[in-house]
């Protein structure tokens, strides 16, 4: 990995044109924190850089330094694009022809597209923020100021579920500790990310929890979010981002799911697990991807049709993992 990082650093140093950083749709803390950290650092190195997020900046991340500079549209043609925390360019929400000449991917997801010899891909990394941190440290650790440290700390904190998930490895903690030394304020970040809920969030949560259902003898729990739930509560989609943790938190449940209706008869499925089933493979079979314990997919169809399809695929993977037999 050190050699690949060194090669990427040289590629960045050679670039004299515009660089476009790309977030995925419905950006999370990892994509926002990683992208903004890279934006700050490359500008320090004299590069002309933009950070594009089609869906803008979710309110819980609007405190991040540089958040006001994130753009939602780009009319130029960048010489180089950097896709952060996304498996493929399509996840950015951009449509062809793409507004760049070349693309590099920096990511920690298990599956996705390889775009160039400069890609930094490590599914063992706790977050993309850790990969960006490794890159910046190798290039010039003294250029990492408190603004960059705050962005990277937020990326690691949120993608490890406040250091509660299985990807909260030793590296997650050691990198986070170093970033605190560099100026990140853990209490402030935690307060801004987790303690600024909107009233509409709780109105939506009340409605969504009433949809909670159990399946497979209580091993699987899932919730459903309809478009009308958002419309009638006034909540935004980003407010429901963490709701999948509720079905997963039930005692005895090994897999939690969230079925979220989108426009055009499309359903966004979120999977979360406790280590018994490889949910990245479940999502991959459904056209999506992700990690062992956290993955997702988008499926077209009616609600009942999609639910039957998803649970059918999930059942096969649970059987292969021996999970269903354990309860017999």
**Sign of the CA dihedral 113, 117, 122, 127?**
negative
CATH fold label, 199-326? Diaminopimelate Epimerase; Chain A, domain 1 (3.10.310)
pTM, to two decimals: 0.92
- Per-residue model confidence (pLDDT) at position 272: 96
**Percent over 90 (pLDDT), the chain:** 91
Confidence of residue 45 (pLDDT cuts 50, 70, 90): very high
The arithmetic mean of pLDDT across residues 169-176, rounded, is 98
How far apart CA 69 and CA 49 sit, in angstroms, is 10
The model's confidence at residue 328, banded by pLDDT at 50, 70 and 90, is very low
| 2-194 and 199-326 have identical folds | no
Quote the tokens at residue 262: 């989108």
Strand pairing category for 103-107 and 120-121: parallel
d(CA 264, CA 59): 26
**Which range has the worst mean pLDDT, 29-33, 76-80, 276-280, 288-292?**
288-292
Looking at residue 297, what is its pLDDT? 92
Q: What is the pLDDT of residue 26?
A: 87
Task: Identify the CATH number of the domain defined by range 2-194.
Answer: 3.90.1640.10
pLDDT classification of 187: cutoffs 50, 70, 90:
very high
Give the rounded percent of residues in the chain with a pLDDT score beyond 70: 99
Label the pairing between strands 220-225 and 213-215.
Answer: antiparallel
**Residue among 112, 108, 198, 196 at smallest CA distance from 156:** 108
Q: Which token pair is 119?
A: 């890609």
Query: 43: buried, middle or exposed (CB in 10 Å: 19+, 13-18, 0-12)?
Result: middle
pLDDT in tens, 282-300: 999 999 888 899 999 999 9
User: What's the token pair of residue 26?
Assistant: 């419905």
Instruction: Write down the domain spans for the chain.
Output: 2-194, 199-326
């Amino acid at each position: 990995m050190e050699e690949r990082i060194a090669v990427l650093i040289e590629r960045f140093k050679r670039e004299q044109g515009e660089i476009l950083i790309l977030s995925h749709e419905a950006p999370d803390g990892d994509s926002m924190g990683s992208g903004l950290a890279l934006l700050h650092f490359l500008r320090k190195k004299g590069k002309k850089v933009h950070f594009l997020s089609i869906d803008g900046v979710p309110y819980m991340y609007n405190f991040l330094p540089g958040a006001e500079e994130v753009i939602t549209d780009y009319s130029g043609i960048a010489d180089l694009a950097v896709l952060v925390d996304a498996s493929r360019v399509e996840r950015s929400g951009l449509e062809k022809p793409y507004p760049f000449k070349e693309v590099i991917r920096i990511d920690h997801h298990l599956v996705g597209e390889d775009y160039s010899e400069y890609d930094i891909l490590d599914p063992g990394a706790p977050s993309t923020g850790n990969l960006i941190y490794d890159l910046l440290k190798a290039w010039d650790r003294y250029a990492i100021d408190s603004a960059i440290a705050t962005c990277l700390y937020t990326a690691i904190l949120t993608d490890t579920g406040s250091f509660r998930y299985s990807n909260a490895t030793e590296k997650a903690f050691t990198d986070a500790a170093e970033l605190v030394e560099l100026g990140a304020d853990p209490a402030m970040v935690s307060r801004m990310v987790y303690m600024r809920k909107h009233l509409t969030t709780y109105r939506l949560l009340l409605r969504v929890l009433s949809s909670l259902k159990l399946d497979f003898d209580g091993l699987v729990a899932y919730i459903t979010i309809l478009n009308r739930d958002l419309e009638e509560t006034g909540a935004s989609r980003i407010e429901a981002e963490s709701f999948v943790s509720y079905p997963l938190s039930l005692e005895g449940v090994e897999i939690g799911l969230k079925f979220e209706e989108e426009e055009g008869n499309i359903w966004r499925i979120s999977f979360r697990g406790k280590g018994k089933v490889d949910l990245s493979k479940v999502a991959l079979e459904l056209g999506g991807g992700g990690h062992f314990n956290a993955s997702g997919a988008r499926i077209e169809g009616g609600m009942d049709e999609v639910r039957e399809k998803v649970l059918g695929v999930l059942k096969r993977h649970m059987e292969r993992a021996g999970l269903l037999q354990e309860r017999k």
